[in-house]
């Protein structure tokens, strides 16, 4: 299973890990120097979420957090484990 968002297609990206050494000039040093550059991966923040599809069924998908926050997917509604009975006489007594 690839590390890819199933909604927007966001996947891992390559970048550089830059190592610095020295004290900055504004802090009284002679300046910072780059001592090493190595490749690294930036991985998307994927979450496993139960999602309601367009035809009404529920499915587990891997979605990035940006799609979750933007509302690109609708999470499946889980029913409450139990519900307390609402009795009219008790509600009226509590109001007195």
Q: pLDDT tens digit string along 19-71?
A: 999 999 999 999 999 999 999 999 999 999 999 888 888 999 999 999 999 99
What whole-number distance in Å separates Cα of residue 40 and Cα of residue 13?
9
56 SS3 class: coil
Would you call 64 exposed, middle or buried from its count of C-beta atoms within 10 A (0-12, 13-18, 19+)? buried
Is the Cβ–Cβ distance between 36 and 19 less than 8 Å?
Answer: yes
Please choose, from the candidates 40, 36, 33, the residue with its C-alpha nearest in 3D space to the C-alpha of residue 19.
36
What pTM was computed for the model? 0.64
């Amino acid at each position: 299973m690839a590390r890819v968002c199933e909604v927007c297609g966001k996947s891992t990206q390559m970048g550089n890990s830059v190592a610095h050494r020295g004290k900055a000039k504004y802090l009284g040093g002679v300046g910072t120097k780059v001592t090493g550059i190595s490749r690294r991966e930036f991985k998307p923040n994927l979450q496993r979420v139960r999602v309601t599809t367009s035809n009404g069924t529920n499915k587990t998908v891997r979605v990035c957090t940006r799609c979750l926050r933007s509302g690109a997917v609708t999470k499946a509604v889980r029913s409450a484990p139990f519900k307390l009975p609402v009795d009219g006489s008790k509600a009226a007594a509590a109001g007195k």
